Amino acid sequence: MQAVIDFLKQNEPRFIDELCDYVRFPSVSAQAQHRADLQACAAWVVKHCKQIGLQARLCPTQGHPIVLAKTPRHPIAAPNRPARAATSRRRPHFLVYGHYDVQPPEPFDLWKSPPFEPRLQGRSLFARGASDNKGQNFAHLKAVEAYLKTNTEIPCDITFVIEGEEEVGSKSLAGFLREHRDELRCDAVVISDTGMPAPDCPALTYALRGIAAIEVTLRGPSRDLHSGIFGGTVDNPAMALSQLLAKLRDQNGRVAIPGFYDEVRPLSAFERKQFKRLPMTDREYQKLLGVPRLFGEKGYTPFEQRAARPTLEINGLTSGYQGEGSKTIVPAWARAKLTARLVPDQKPARIIKLIQQHLKKLCPPTVRMEIEAGHGADPYLVSPDSAHAQAALRALRSAFGHEPVLMREGGSIPIVNDFKRILHADTLLLGLALPDDNAHSPNEKFNLDCFAKGALMSAFLWQELSRIVLQRVTPRLSTPH
Ligand code: BES
Ligand code: ZN
């Protein structure tokens, strides 16, 4: 292992240069104009994987391509070495999932340097995708490179699945997993696409929120009207939508949609106690986010509100004239993009139905309502006590030199449920993003210490995880029959 550790240390400057090349691709999956950029980015990842010694290929999909890259598989041992043959048949196999697509960088004017021109400042690398998810996933590639380039035996097989549609709901991945089920059958999935509270506080995330997306449009007059000539005689879709949206939450920060909380599993006293141990005071949190005061569901701490309670947000609100100066119109339409974040045992389909029904009930007869249901994903919750989780905690502890914390996270990674459903594999969420990494915001960055320690953690992880898989197998193998 020392050779691997030394390799990671010695090659860090080159890794950073390579990550800079990676983040230069404007791989914005939400915007059709970037289709070719996603293709080029995926091709770069394949080439890079081949360079570090992986067997890699580009897999086309209906949407953006998926990169599949594997450590070279060990040949089955010769028959004259039965003990070896027995273990190599049961060689552990792990999947590392990541995504090369990124969120739209807008608004551009808030970036201190252009989003796709990486900028190094101290131990931070600024660029869209630096943290979510190119940098975090790249740490795992570098760990595997260290094994391969130093000829250190990797105790397991590793397959990287790096997709280009995570930020738009991973539409192609479930089908891909089904199609490649045999090739992808594994002992566990490893994902670094979540957060950690501080550079000296590594984390294992054992729960994610689910999501349900919906778009609502109110249509009024057949065209924008002069607000002086016609205003006051027809409903204003922007006004009507504002009034309608305002009714979706109450003053206590609760979602005011009948039935919304029906399936919510209450938080246990034990979990609430664990949450209290996480660093960061309410005051620090408020400062980080730049708000004059925090707002959230009464009776819960900010950490509970964002990780373990369901919420409803307006993600986008559009109507009327947005350009320079003024334009006196009654807009013809108004639109809101909404998402609910879900916790066990809420189901996206039911929540979408509840929102739809409620919106229809609230809609005044003076406008026409159109509703489009978007993507959905179930919430995710696994036991932090499993042997896999314990192995991951050991790897985190060794690499970061600090005791890891157990966390629940508010974000969603829809595909984790498909890994469970289709491959029957649990996912270990070992996030490397810091709270101030500005994921999805202007000036996204990745902390290079998290990058370096993340690669080290990955290197340790394969030892720790393989050991528990093999330990489990060995007694069965040695049973005389
Ligand atoms: N990396 C995030 C997910 C995340 C971030 C989980 C922080 C936990 C903590 C991922 O790239 C993401 O943004 N996912 C989307 C999914 C959605 C588009 C279906 C999200 O959570 O908004
Ligand atoms: Zn994201």
Q: Find out whether 157 and 93 touch, Cβ atoms under 8 Å.
A: yes
Which tens digits make up the pLDDT trace of 372-396?
999 899 999 999 999 999 999 999 9
Helices marked H in 328-386 — which ranges? 348-362
Q: Say if residue 37 is preceded by a cis peptide, omega within 30 of 0.
A: no
CATH number of 2-208+379-470: 3.40.630.10
| Nearest ligand, measured from the Cα of 306 | 1
Q: How far is the CA of 61 from the centre of ligand 2 (A)?
A: 20
Out of 27, 64, 193, mutate this one to test ligand 1's pocket (max ligand atoms within 8 Å of CB): namely 193
Residue 430 binned pLDDT confidence (cut-offs 50, 70, 90)? very high
Angle at 166 between CA 142 and CA 107, to 5 degrees: 100
User: Residue 478 pLDDT > 90, yes or no?
Assistant: no
Q: Which atom of ligand 1 is nearest to the CA of 377?
A: 19
Rounded to the nearest angstrom, the gap between the alpha carbon of residue 268 and the centroid of all alpha carbons in its chain is 25
Protein residue closest via CA to atom 4 of ligand 1: 411
Q: In one letter, which amino acid is 124? A: S
Supply the pLDDT for residue 75: 59
Both tokens assigned to 127 = 């660029």
Q: Is the pLDDT of residue 451 over 50?
A: yes
> Is the pLDDT reported for residue 111 higher than 90?
yes
Check the CA dihedral 179-184-188-190 and report its sign. negative
Query: CA 303 to CA 441: how far, in whole Å?
Result: 20
pTM (predicted TM-score): 0.90
What pLDDT is recorded for position 472?
77
Ligand 1 atom 6: residue of nearest CA = 411
- The DSSP result for 293-311, as a single string, is S----TTS-HHHHHHTS-E
How open is the CA angle 62-64-70, to the nearest 5 degrees? 105
Residue nearest to atom 18 of ligand 1 (CA): 167
Q: What proportion of the chain, given as a percentage, has pLDDT over 70?
A: 95
Contact predicate 475/154, CB 8 Å: no
For residue 468, give the H/E element and its range: helix 448-478
Pairing of the two strands 124-126 and 210-219? unpaired
Ligand 1 atom index nearest CA of 205:
8
Cα–Cα distance for residue pair 41/67, rounded to 1 Å: 10
Closest CA to 190 of 459, 1, 437: 459
Please give the pLDDT value at position 335.
Answer: 98
What residue ranges do the domains of the chain occupy?
A: 2-208+379-470, 210-264+310-372
| β partners of residue 370 | 217
- What's the average model confidence in pLDDT over 435-443? 97
Distance (Å, rounded) from C-alpha 147 to C-alpha 254? 50
Average pLDDT over residues 45-57: 98
Centre of ligand 2 to C-alpha 102, Å, is: 7
Protein residues with CB under 6 Å of any ligand 1 atom: 132-133, 166-167, 169, 193-195, 208, 211, 375, 377, 409, 411-414, 439
Predicted pLDDT of residue 247? 98
Residue 47, pLDDT above cutoff 70: yes
Q: pLDDT band for position 279 (50/70/90)?
A: confident
The pLDDT, as a whole number, for residue 477 is 40
The upper half-sphere exposure of residue 171, i.e. CA atoms within 13 Å in the direction of its Cβ, equals 11
Name 16's Cβ contacts closer than 8 Å, sequence gap at least 6. Answer: 120, 125, 448, 451
User: 151: which 2 tokens?
Assistant: 């000829």
Token representation of residue 320: 């009327």
The residue with tokens 């006051």 is 232
Q: 184-229: per-residue pLDDT in tens?
A: 999 999 999 999 999 999 999 999 999 999 999 999 999 999 999 9
Cα 213 to Cα 155, 338, 377, distances in angstroms: 41, 6, 9
In a 10 Å sphere around its CB, with 0-12 CB exposed, 13-18 middle and 19+ buried, how is residue 197 labelled? middle
Confidence of residue 470 (pLDDT cuts 50, 70, 90): confident
Selected from 3.30.70.360, 3.40.50.620, 3.20.20.140, 2.60.40.10, the CATH number assigned to the domain covering 210-264+310-372 reads 3.30.70.360
36-40, 166-170, 320-324 — which is least confidently predicted? 166-170
Return the pLDDT at 79: 45
Q: What is the mean pLDDT of the chain?
A: 94
Q: What is the pLDDT of residue 278?
A: 80
H/E stretch holding 319 reads strand 311-319
Distance 284 CA to ligand 2 centre (A): 23
Q: Are the CB atoms for 227 and 329 separated by under 8 Å?
A: yes
Distance from Cα 191 to the centre of ligand 2, integer Å: 13
pLDDT in tens, 56-98: 999 999 999 999 999 998 754 444 444 444 444 589 999 999 9
- The encoded tokens of residue 261 equal 């909380």
Looking at the CA of residue 433, tell me the nearest atom of ligand 1.
7
Place of tokens 């949609």: 257
Same topology, domains 2-208+379-470 and 210-264+310-372? Answer is no
The number of C-alpha atoms within 13 Å of 103 and in the hemisphere containing its C-beta is 17
Q: Which residue has the tokens 């089920």?
A: 181
Count other Cβ atoms within 10 Å, centred on residue 315: 10
CA–centroid distance, 366 to ligand 2, in Å, is 38
Mean pLDDT in residue range 341-351? 97
Which are the contacts of 24, defined by CB distance < 8 A and separation ≥ 6? 116, 117, 118, 127
Instruction: Check residue 90 and give its pLDDT.
Output: 80
Q: Does residue 347 have a pLDDT over 70?
A: yes
SS (H, E, C) 36-93: HHHHHHHHHHHHHHHHCCCEEEEECCCCCCEEEEECCCCCCCCCCCHHHHHHHHCCCE
166, 312, 432: which to mutate for ligand 1, most atoms within 8 A of CB?
Answer: 166
Q: b/e per residue, 119-133, with b = 16+ CB within 10 A?
A: beeeebbbbbbbbbb
Q: Which amino acid does the sequence have at 332?
A: A
Rounded Cα gap, residues 199 and 163, in angstroms: 27
